[in-house]
Structure 1
């Protein structure tokens, strides 16, 4: 636990089971983000937005419990997006943000942390410095602390598309999350709050008569609200992940009796099938090796040895998903992949788009980052004699600089 948490408020130290906790509000619908899944479950650079946020909080204050408040209809999305993360069991939120925060506070009431930090699920770039400033202010006696950035743009009051006046920006700040409070004080303020129209917890504490302070926030701790924010966030992650690597993979499988082949995740009718320990999808095998090569993480045989019977007949998307997860586990993104299939038959052209779509689905990247090509060897060699199929693959990944 960071040093900043070793000093708790004396009057609560014996009552509290934990020094601090995060409460993440993720029950909203995010309608301004456009059509599709609730925005917190859409992906940015290959990861769900909510996962990026939760991972950032875990890095900012390691070991601190995280309570997430979700929409009851989103439980399956939440479980998929947060698989493997250490979180408290989620609780269902209410019709408003205020109701959702109350639900989260009630879930934490038994633990009664000294401090509670309430954070938006759609702010994935929170950093340790901001969290440390919030905790320090609370330890110095503050009852409500908000990160904020000074407004620097000229502000205009506009009605019906017409500027009515210029607003004096002197003393104006844009507030962010997490917003930090003594847990008991925020509980009491929510219990006393009239109405359900408060848009942040600083306002709830203001209504309760608390003196609300600000500490320095960061411009890059922005909230994902619009489709443009998703683009901005992905660009930020891509720029941070500047360790660009390219891996190559190659695989061969011979034909045997059968009536279909699996290629790049697509079942294609054919007069023969490919022989292998698994389903012998030569395209996905080569691509798996390419991703592992980019990570310097062995090859498909290292992780899935053919001597192990449990992989007999395994569908090759299992191998590719494993390699994808190895990239994501290191904070990386898959920037581009390409597969070249080498064979006389079957004809690949009619199936290329289906193959690209399947690979994009498995890697959770846009289809325009997936290339599938085909060629022959002009009747030369084992592929020219139609004895089997070969595949070459490349994969470009971006890793964080600290991973170098």
Structure 2
């Protein structure tokens, strides 16, 4: 792309996704250990040629969106409309103050878009002004009537399946959307159809068969299985942490505030369970330890909540294409009693790490009144983490 050309992206995420079944809007559901919307947005946020990423959301989803895309750059979300077409226009209007040369319009329900497809979209829009990614139809297609009888067999060689991101000159597609709104046309299923109606010639470029749209429950089951089949590099790490008691009226353990007669002496919140778990995950990644990523000498971590550390470690796994298989913490103390809070702790770890609670174990034991834990001078914790990475992962730093 020439220096004069600036590209922006719109992520259309205002739909409710009812055909995907129970579990809330499909774009916020997890697949392969990461939300659909995170996977859909990350390639645009990380692409060097995309200057602005404009999400378009349902107002009810703002909190879910913010939690799902932590760490990704994007503009202030725009409010979506009653139809996809209205949502796209809202995104275009929100970007108008930035006046990009090219805009890429992508469905948040397509979590497997690649950087190569994005690059091809930008190049195609620069060259043609309007272009969409397509893949060839491999099955024979039949045209049927209302009764289900075959009317015709279209020539398969000329058929293509349309995908997103669809790419356009920004000013041209904005004017086309505004015209459609003025004329009461709200029935276009994609932006290419609207562009054709507006008189534009829409070119095509090579899409990607993996860039599929998540629509039904079966799509999620199939893609989970596909992703899991490529994660054959199974690794296990262990962690250990200890903190002494000091003045206070509570302790943080596994992300839960536990009333106690003492507090922890610690630089952060002293959560021994989460600290041990972070070390276990980093160990499985061969990626240093908690101290190398969050040095106690750094004042920014003073009093920090340890859920930030665990989320960071989990993101290191998903950032390498992996997923968490199992997390286990053992707490060693006389008091406070862990048993009554065991499931609360499991649920909190599951929430922070984005895994099902069935993959999280919290155990507790005493040291039979022996040693510093037996004298109730502090608490110790051990942890283990099992992760799955792609076989070709070579990103370990140790």
Q: In which range does the TM-score fall when normalised by the shorter chain?
A: 0.7 to 0.9
Q: 1:347 to 1:188 in 2, by over 3 A?
A: closer
Residue deviations 1:335-367 (CA, integer Å, cap 9, x gap): 321112234555544432222112111222110
Q: Residue 156 of structure 1 contacts residue 164 of structure 1 at CA under 8 Å; is this kept in 2?
A: no
Q: Which moved more, 1:377-386 or 1:195-204?
A: 377-386
How far apart, CA to CA, are the structure 1 residues paired with 2:292 and 2:102? 46
Q: 1:320 to 1:130 in 2, by over 3 A?
A: closer
Q: Residue 7 of structure 2 contacts residue 49 of structure 2 at CA under 8 Å; is this kept in 1?
A: no
How far apart, CA to CA, are the structure 1 residues paired with 2:44 and 2:243? 46
Q: Secondary structure at the match of 2:265?
A: coil
Q: Which moved more, 1:208-217 or 1:237-246?
A: 237-246
| Counterpart selection for 1:281 from 271, 274, 295 | 271
2:29 pairs with 1:50: no
**Which residue in the other structure is 1:12 paired with?**
none
2:343 pairs with 1:353: yes
**Which residue in the other structure is 1:75 paired with?**
62
**Which residue in the other structure is 2:132 paired with?**
146
**Which residue in the other structure is 1:164 paired with?**
149
> Matches of residues 255-274 of structure 1 in structure 2 within 5 Å?
262-268=252-258, 273=262
How far apart, CA to CA, are the structure 1 residues paired with 2:296 and 2:328? 25
| Counterpart selection for 1:294 from 269, 278, 284 | 284
| Counterpart selection for 1:130 from 106, 109, 117 | 117
Q: Root-mean-square deviation (CA), in Å?
A: 3.6
Structure 2 unaligned runs (5+)?
A: none
| Counterpart selection for 1:210 from 200, 206, 221 | 200
Shift of 1:167: 6.0
Q: 1:31 to 1:347 in 2, by over 3 A?
A: same
**Which residue in the other structure is 1:116 paired with?**
103
**Which residue in the other structure is 1:192 paired with?**
179
The alignment covers a number of residue pairs equal to 388
Q: Residue 18 of structure 1 contacts residue 112 of structure 1 at CA under 8 Å; is this kept in 2?
A: no
**Which residue in the other structure is 1:11 paired with?**
none
How far apart, CA to CA, are the structure 2 residues paired with 1:314 and 1:139? 46
Residue deviations 1:294-333 (CA, integer Å, cap 9, x gap): 3444433445555667766655434434433444555543
Q: Residue 57 of structure 1 contacts residue 126 of structure 1 at CA under 8 Å; is this kept in 2?
A: no
Q: 1:249 to 1:164 in 2, by over 3 A?
A: same
Residue deviations 1:10-46 (CA, integer Å, cap 9, x gap): xxxxxxx643322222222222223344332333344
Q: Which moved more, 1:65-74 or 1:311-320?
A: 311-320
How far apart, CA to CA, are the structure 2 residues paired with 1:190 and 1:259? 60
Residue deviations 1:196-245 (CA, integer Å, cap 9, x gap): 01110111122223333333222110112223333444445555555543
How far apart, CA to CA, are the structure 2 residues paired with 1:267 and 1:82? 26
**Which residue in the other structure is 1:403 paired with?**
395
2:12 pairs with 1:6: no
TM-score (norm 1): 0.80
**Which residue in the other structure is 1:103 paired with?**
90
**Which residue in the other structure is 1:323 paired with?**
313
Q: Residue 332 of structure 2 contacts residue 367 of structure 2 at CA under 8 Å; is this kept in 1?
A: yes
How far apart, CA to CA, are the structure 1 residues paired with 2:312 and 2:132? 40
Q: 1:26 to 1:359 in 2, by over 3 A?
A: same
Shift of 1:143: 4.8
Residue deviations 1:96-127 (CA, integer Å, cap 9, x gap): 11122222223334544433221111212112
Q: 1:130 to 1:395 in 2, by over 3 A?
A: same
How far apart, CA to CA, are the structure 2 residues paired with 1:173 and 1:386? 69
How far apart, CA to CA, are the structure 2 residues paired with 1:371 and 1:158? 54
Q: Which moved more, 1:336-345 or 1:92-101?
A: 336-345
Residue deviations 1:150-208 (CA, integer Å, cap 9, x gap): 22235567899x95338635233221111122333323332333420111011112222
Q: Secondary structure at the match of 1:403?
A: coil
